[in-house]
Amino acid sequence: MQSFPMFIKMAGRKVVIVGGGEQAAQKTRLMLKTEAEIIVAAPELDDELAGLLAKGRISHVDGAISADLFEDTAMVLIGTGCPAVDASIHAVAKAAGALVNVVDQPHLCDATTPSIVDRDPVVVAIGTEGTAPVLGRRIKTQIEQMLDPQIGTFAALAGRLRGAVAHRIPRENRREFWRWTFNDAPWTTFKRGAQREAAEMLKTAVAEGEYAAAQGSICLVGAGPGARDLLTLRAVERLQEADVIFYDRLVDPEVLELARRDAERVYVGKVVGAHALPQDRINQLIVAEALKGRRVVRLKSGDPTIFGRMTEELDAAREAGIETEVVPGITAATAAAAQMQVSLTERNKYDSVTFATGAFAEDADPRDLLRHIKSGTRVVFYMCVASAEKLAHSIIEEGLAERVGITIASDVSNPRAEFIETSVGDLVETLQTASISGKALLIISPDTDLAMAKPVGTLLRSV
């Protein structure tokens, strides 16, 4: 290890940044995260730095640079944009005994600036000793996904209570108290949005010296349309915290790989034409696990609030007095539009978009679905492949076929995704030819000759 990682106190200390352009601005942005006094030395400042000066965020020195400027500094960062000038200023700063970092010249650096994951006061720094900054940024991205955005705020709350804990909680019990704080009820309560409740829970536990193990909970998590990198950071975190995960057929196996390895996984989906478990039985299962004190994740493809039977599961949980949370996901319609690079709404053409389900009862009249198809509205039908023939027949009977285009979106967000334009009359044959029998949307665009324009570089193709 050529460099020793450590954190330097910056509050109230002087940092000098030499340069007035983009390189200096980058270093200034970094230092603004600290409580240091920032001095920028340069003949002229770019617009960003000038704006910071006007707001009083930095000080400016525009005269000759001497060793006096660098005395009693926490750090000197040099980035004028000219390597020769940087090297000469480096010599002056070193003569003043300063700790120096020179942009893009590792051999002149006493210290390097790491990639930082900032959850103040929780800070993670990643360094590669200047050998692979791109790798450092990749690791930063992975850690960003791991750490809850609220962990810093919660850590600050806990920090404000350290004195009270030291005064009221016996020394032999403090480690267990802090384990409970960060792993059980206070943290789980805080991150689901009940910050005030979590704070009161902690204060009561400190005052009374008693605290209980976390209660069970149920979190409905949107797994997105398929690709696991489309999950939200919160969804990934809930998967990694779960004791048991209930998932369905449409959840991609790669998404489950993001879960804790020791989490129990229970399949409650359905095969085409038959439910593996009825909904009321699923409700009973997730409630029973939560009542055991376990953290339950009900993983649903897409977004739980869109055709996900979310209400029934939440009602069952609330009736049992179980804490609940819903983590939204990217729904298939928006994922399809993004992959095709097509807007679901278009100015002066489609001023609204409707999400509808084509799954209806055997005795239902498919013509009821036609109420969604009207000028100015693009309609996305979920779960409509099985009823496509009935839908197409109804559109033809109503005389709408000539002014309606259809795009079939299959396996959205996956590498095997297909987007096929077809007419109402050819819809059923197109589905059969392309062997599409399940995981697909029908995107209906009234008043157009084609279902959608063909953007360059997408998977859209015509049949």
Query: If you average pLDDT over residues 147-167, what whole number do you get?
Result: 94
| pLDDT value for 455 | 37
Residue 147 has what DSSP assignment?
A: S
**CATH no. for 14-113:** 3.40.50.720
Assigned CATH class of 333-462? alpha beta
Q: Is 148 an active-site residue?
A: no
Single out the catalytic residue among 94, 140, 270, 349: 270
Radius of gyration in angstroms for the set of CA atoms belonging to the chain, rounded to a whole number: 29
Separation CA 254–CA 248 (nearest Å): 13
Print burial letters for 257-267: b (CB count within 10 Å at least 16), e (below 16).
Answer: ebbeeebeeee
Query: If you average pLDDT over residues 335-353, what whole number do you get?
Result: 93
| pLDDT value for 364 | 63
Single out the catalytic residue among 86, 148, 243, 248: 248
Q: Which helix (H) or strand (E) is 183 found in, with range?
A: helix 171-183
| pLDDT value for 366 | 65
Residue ranges of alpha helices (H) inside 185-252 are: 185-191, 195-208, 233-241
pLDDT in tens, 188-243: 899 888 999 999 999 999 998 777 666 789 999 999 999 999 999 889 989 988 99
- Is it the case that residue 360 has pLDDT exceeding 70? no
pLDDT in tens, 24-61: 999 999 999 999 999 999 999 999 999 999 999 999 99
DSSP labels for 60-104? EE-S---GGGGTTEEEEEE--S-HHHHHHHHHHHHHTT--EEETT
Residue 224 has what DSSP assignment?
A: B
Cβ atoms within 10 Å of 327's Cβ, excluding its own: 24
| CATH 3.40.1010.10 residue spans of the chain | 217-330
| CATH 3.30.950.10 residue spans of the chain | 333-462
Query: If you average pLDDT over residues 401-416, what whole number do you get?
Result: 89
**CATH no. for 217-330:** 3.40.1010.10
279 close to 260: Cβ distance less than 8 angstroms: no
| pLDDT value for 250 | 84
Q: Is 248 an active-site residue?
A: yes
